[in-house]
């Protein structure tokens, strides 16, 4: 809670105001995000799921290790995509352990329960927490590693921060370890905008949960009806940004910090970046992060890619 409080206050005292997107995914936010993933307009989930349904065998064929290895997934969520990869790994008679890392304990618990039902013999060693801290506090393993960072999560970072994140991955991996990186690709801007500015208001509710979370955990008194949601996509550089907008001049008291934050009428709070990439961008970023591109797996529409990299 201390990190959330400090980051929350620091962000709202910044200009423009901001809240880190990592705080979107508490247990409530993770549940709302599951709703987003099932929206017809939110193509990302279906496109990446198609890749795992139809190309998991080809992904597994790139693994040449004979000894036991670890499959580590950062931000594992419900594991709906990963289960197809796990199935192929088991069918290939490979010796591996699956380690999901997620900030939501509820998500981890549900994932492990579902996987045990599907794969009773699967060795699962979940870890709950912020994967940044986990990455900085410990090396992954002496065994070979297949690291999964899926769902387009790399898009939550600006280019410089994304490269730094890849370097952080690289620093925790050994030469020959693998990274499977999911990324959303640049495409018709109307398709992208409809995926985030949905007509059902689920994405709005997902973002407003940040304020609701502050009410629950920090003793804030946000009135959710006094805020609205807006997203903007720039097709020139692939940058999509989400915002909350104050609908009036208002003050919010945050009890845990004993602070009052003033919001001007129409003032914005930046909540999330969801960057879209070209295939060349991803290869270049991977190289700058310490990886070499092995193969790119795309859905049939070429909306999404899962790029396999090897640690140089």
When pLDDT is cut at 50, 70 and 90, the band that residue 140 belongs to is low
- pLDDT (0 to 100) of residue 1: 66
Work out whether strand 304-311 and strand 291-298 pair parallel, antiparallel, or are unpaired: antiparallel
- Return the minimum-mean-pLDDT range out of 121-125, 131-135, 171-175: 131-135
Contact 229, 266 (CB under 8 A): no
pLDDT > 90 fraction of the chain, expressed in percent and rounded: 79
Q: What is the mean pLDDT of residues 221-237?
A: 96
Q: Is the pTM of this model over 0.75?
A: yes
Residue with tokens 């499977």, as numbered in its chain? 180
Q: Is the pLDDT of residue 77 over 80?
A: no
Q: Is the pLDDT of residue 138 over 80?
A: no
d(CA 276, CA 181): 13
Please state which CATH class domain 46-188+276-311 belongs to: alpha beta
- Return the minimum-mean-pLDDT range out of 52-56, 107-111, 295-299: 107-111
Q: What is the pLDDT of residues 15-31, one digit of tens each?
A: 999 999 989 988 899 89
- The residue ranges of every structural domain in the chain are 2-39+214-273, 46-188+276-311
When pLDDT is cut at 50, 70 and 90, the band that residue 105 belongs to is confident
């Amino acid at each position: 809670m201390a990190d959330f409080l400090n980051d929350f206050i620091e962000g709202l005292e910044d200009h423009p105001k901001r809240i880190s997107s990592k705080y979107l995914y508490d247990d409530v936010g993770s549940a709302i995000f599951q709703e987003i993933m099932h929206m017809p307009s939110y193509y990302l989930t279906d496109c990446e799921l198609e890749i795992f349904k139809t190309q998991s065998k080809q992904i597994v064929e790139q693994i040449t290790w004979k000894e036991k290895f670890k499959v580590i997934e950062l931000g594992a969520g419900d594991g709906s995509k990963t289960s197809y990869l796990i199935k192929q790994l088991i069918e290939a008679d490979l010796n591996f352990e699956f380690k999901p890392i997620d900030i939501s304990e509820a998500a981890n618990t549900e994932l492990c329960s579902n996987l045990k039902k599907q794969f009773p013999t699967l060795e699962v060693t979940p870890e709950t927490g912020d994967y940044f801290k986990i990455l900085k506090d410990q090396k992954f393993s002496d065994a070979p590693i297949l690291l999964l960072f899926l769902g387009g999560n790399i898009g939550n970072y600006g280019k410089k921060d994304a490269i730094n994140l890849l370097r952080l991955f690289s620093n925790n991996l050994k030469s020959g370890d693998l990274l499977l990186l999911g990324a959303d690709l640049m495409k018709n801007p109307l398709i992208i905008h409809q995926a985030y500015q949905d007509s059902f208001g689920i994405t709005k509710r997902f973002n407003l949960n940040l304020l609701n979370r502050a009410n629950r955990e920090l003793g804030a008194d946000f009135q959710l009806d006094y805020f609205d949601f807006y997203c903007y996509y720039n097709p020139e550089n692939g940058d999509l940004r989400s915002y909350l907008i104050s609908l009036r001049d208002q003050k919010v008291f945050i009890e845990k910090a004993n602070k009052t934050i003033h919001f001007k009428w129409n003032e914005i709070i930046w909540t999330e970046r969801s960057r879209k990439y070209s295939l060349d961008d991803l290869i270049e970023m991977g190289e700058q992060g310490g990886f070499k591109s092995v193969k790119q797996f795309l859905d049939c529409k070429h909306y999404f890619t899962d790029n396999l990299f090897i640690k140089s």
